[in-house]
Amino acid sequence: MSDRIKGLIDKLETEHTLKKEEWVELFDGYTDETREYAAKKARGVSLENFGNKIYIRGIVEFSNVCKNDCLYCGIRASNKNAQRYRLTDEEILSCCDEGYEYGFRTFVLQSGEDYNEYPAKRIADIVARIKQNHPDCAVTLSLGEMEYDDLKLMREAGADRYLLRHETATKSLYEKLHPEKMSFEHRMTCLKWLKELGYQTGAGMMIGAPYQTSEDLADDMLFLHDFKPEMIGTGPFLPHKDTPFKDMQKGSYELTLFVLSLCRLMLPRVLLPATTALGTIRPNGREQGVLAGANVIMPNLSPTAVRKKYMLYDGKICTEDSSSECRNCLSARMKRIGYEIEVSRGDYK
């Protein structure tokens, strides 16, 4: 059994792809031993491609207002308990200035789907100002689904990257996780546009989302293999108390680490963060993520005063800390496992 699983991991390492049945076999049959086998190989691939350097991205969560109602998400429109906030352009810019001092050379502007207040033109202006202040930096957007012309405008203003998790490659599962008015096809179309427009594009899924099966995860891997995103964001599903999924089981920490390793073996140069959700499910989850093949960490640059309000799931870490505390904490955490934070844009190569 374990030889069979190790054989599939070896095959993935050399061929960078597997058949659907083989992915399912991996997800159904892995053990601690085979997961560690994959982690060791994945870590080796990361070391070959990136050395012991970890890229950092500073996330500015500039608005938690969202018109969508994803069933899993704590900032969904129907959550009347969420205290909504919006940062001004000046506040966003000053988060980036502060981040620059701490060695960040990528800024991620993230929000709920809040286009009425932040139409593409406003974002484009903010992006242009960030690039003007810090020409050596990359700007990543993570604003949800948008139309082609809007994505184009922001790209032309200098945005380099865009994160839009596909959430699941299975349409029927997508429909269980999202309200009827959200469309699986539109999300996939957006991802295609992002690539066409020359954004370094990030896709990804939650691990252990409600109703997710090994088959669904296998389809996610096949999708990622075909789409070849420059980045993959993936972390465990964690319930939020004010959502319809409040009583659902959280995702598996071990499976998340295993998926990270498999992503690294499938797409050796992909930018792969050890996510905040992974650090939330286990105190040293992000370190273990790095040791399983991740090469990016994305700490928060939002003002401490609003951090608690950007609660996608319960228990989110770093909501009491300041940007400089997170930065120092991460350096220390990486050093402890033999890694170093790199001060550079950390583009996809």
| Binding positions for ligand 5AD, rule: CB under 6 A | 72-73, 165, 167, 206, 235, 237-238, 240, 277, 312-313
Nearer to ligand 5AD by Cβ, of 16 and 67: the residue is 67
Report, in Å, the least distance between residue 111 CB and ligand FES.
9
Nearer to ligand 5AD by Cβ, of 12 and 306: the residue is 306
Nearer to ligand FES by Cβ, of 27 and 245: the residue is 245
Find which of ligand 5AD, ligand FES, none residue 273 binds, CB within 5 to 8 Å per kind: none
Q: Which of 12, 42, 54, 66 binds ligand FES (CB under 6 A)?
A: 66
Find which of ligand FES, ligand 5AD, none residue 113 binds, CB within 5 to 8 Å per kind: ligand FES
Report, in Å, the least distance between residue 316 CB and ligand 5AD.
9
Site for ligand FES, residues 90 to 129, rule: CB under 6 A? 112-113
Find which of ligand 5AD, ligand FES, none residue 144 binds, CB within 5 to 8 Å per kind: ligand FES
Which window, 63-71, 246-254, 258-266, 330-338, contacts ligand FES (CB under 6 A)?
Answer: 63-71
Instruction: Identify the burial level of 23 via C-beta atoms within 10 angstroms of its C-beta, where 0-12 means exposed, 13-18 middle and 19 or more buried.
Output: buried
Say whether residue 138 binds ligand FES (CB under 6 A): no
Enumerate binding residues for ligand FES (CB under 6 A).
66, 68-70, 73, 75-76, 112-113, 144
